[in-house]
Structures are given as C-alpha cells and as structure tokens.
Amino acid sequence: MTELKGRSRSNIVRSRDAAYADAAERVRFQASFAEKLLNALMIANGGAIIGLFTFLGNLIGKQGSPIHVSVVPIWAAFVCFVLGLAFTLAAHIMAFLSQQMFYFQAMEEAERFDRAIVMDEPQMDRSAEIAHNSSGKRHYARGMAMAGVGIILFVAGCASALLGLLPT
C-alpha cells in the first residue's frame, strides 16, 4: 500500500469537504424546487380552472347576456387545465427525484474521499457516482419535458376557453 503524501492527503480532505457541502446544498435545492415549481405551475393551471368556473357562473347568472358559450371548447379548456395540473405535479416529482440522485452522487463522492483518507490511498471507483448522476440527468430531462407539456396545456386551455367564448 502506498502512502499518500501530505499534500495529496490534504487535497483529498478538501475535496471530501467540498463533496459534503455539495450534498448539503442539494438538499436545499430539493426544497426550493418543491416550492417554486409547484407554486408557479399549480397557480397557473389551478387559477385558470377557478377563473373559468367563476366566469361561467357569473355569465350563467345574468339573463340576456350578449356572450354565448360553446360547451365543447370550454370543456376542452377544463381538460387542458386539469392535465396541466397533473403534468405539473409529475414535473415536481421528477425535480425532487433528480435532486435526490444528485445528492446521492455527492454523498458517494464524499464517501469515496473518506475511504481514501482511511485507506491512505486514492480510490478510483466512481461507478456509483456515475450511476446516480445518470439517473439524476434522466429525472431532470423528464421533469423539464413534463413542465413544458404543462405550459403547453395551459396555453392550449387558454386558447380553447377563448374559442368557447367567441361569438358564433
């Protein structure tokens, strides 16, 4: 077994400490994703559903209203908004899972540095880190796609609602 030189050992200690700090930061990212993503997309799609119900309720309550409602586009708008909510929730879950995988990667890196310190030699096996990183990237890509679909559904729901309220 070859001994690590003092300089290499201190570099490993610094790298390990940086990996632990990165892991702690990933946990904060998880909470941040949960708040921001849910708030933005849930309010957009959920607010649209509530707004459309309110508008239709007020419209139906007025006799002789100049606006006539086409039922099919209005129901299509509701479907788009509800599906947008579902995709938003799924995107939120993917964001959380991606950060969890990146956290696992950072912890594997820190543990690799710990093993190097204890064994007094560099540890070269990074297979667990690479696997967690790949999984995190896949969850991230899926989450971004789902968030994009949620936004598209919101825009489609708005267009459908407008179409349902245009004069025939």
Spell out the per-residue pLDDT of the chain, length 168, in tens.
Answer: 455 566 677 887 788 788 878 878 877 876 687 678 767 777 888 888 888 878 777 777 676 766 677 889 999 999 999 999 899 889 889 988 998 999 999 889 888 888 888 888 878 888 999 999 999 999 999 998 998 999 999 999 999 988 988 766
Q: Please tell me the predicted confidence (pLDDT) of residue 4.
A: 57
Which residue ranges make up each domain of the chain? 6-165
Q: Please tell me the predicted confidence (pLDDT) of residue 75.
A: 92
Categorise residue 73: left if φ over 0, alpha if ψ from -120 to 50, beta otherwise: alpha
- The CA–CA distances, whole Å, from 80 to 2, 34, 74, 151 equal 64, 22, 10, 10
Q: How many helices, marked H, and strands, marked E, lie in the chain?
A: 3, 0
